[in-house]
Amino acid sequence: MHWDRLFADLEDQFASQREAEHAALESEAERLRVSQLSLHERLMTLAARRGEVTVTFTDGLTTTVAVDACGADWVGLRVRDGGAAYLISPVTAIAEIGMPDYLARQATARPPRPSGVAARTTFGYVLRDLARRRIPVAVVTTSGRVLTGTLDRAGVDHVDLAEHDAGAARRATTVTRTSVVAFATIARVRVVEGAHPA
Residue-wise pLDDT for 2-42, tens only, equals: 666 766 676 777 777 777 676 666 666 556 655 667 888 88
Alpha-carbon separation of residue 40 from 47, 52, 89, 100, 119 (angstroms): 10, 16, 12, 19, 11
Within a domain: residue 111?
yes
User: Would residue 198 count as lying in a domain?
Assistant: no
Same domain, yes or no: 83 and 102: yes
Residue 73 and residue 30 share a domain: no
| Domain containing residue 10 | 1-36
Q: Are residues 31 and 94 in the same domain?
A: no
Q: Does residue 125 belong to any structural domain of this protein?
A: yes
Q: Which pLDDT tens digit goes with each residue over 40-85?
A: 888 888 888 877 899 999 999 999 999 988 899 999 999 976 667 8
- Count CB atoms within 10 A of the CB of residue 56: 14
pLDDT > 70: percent of the chain: 77
Global pTM value: 0.78
**Least-confidence region, from 24-38, 106-120, 150-164, 173-187:** 24-38
pLDDT of 157 higher than 80: yes
CATH (domain of 61): 2.30.30.100
Q: Has residue 196 got a pLDDT over 60?
A: no
Q: Are residues 129 and 85 in the same domain?
A: yes
- d(Cα 189, Cα 79) in Å, to the nearest integer? 12
What 3-state class would DSSP assign to 132? helix
DSSP 115: P
Task: Answer yes or no: do 56 and 152 share one domain.
Answer: yes
* Structural domain contains residue 197: no
CA dihedral over 131, 58, 179, 147, signed as positive or negative: positive
> What pLDDT does residue 116 have?
66
The reply to whether 171 and 78 lie within a common domain is yes
Residues 102 and 127 in one domain: yes
Query: Do residue 121 and residue 148 come from a single domain?
Result: yes
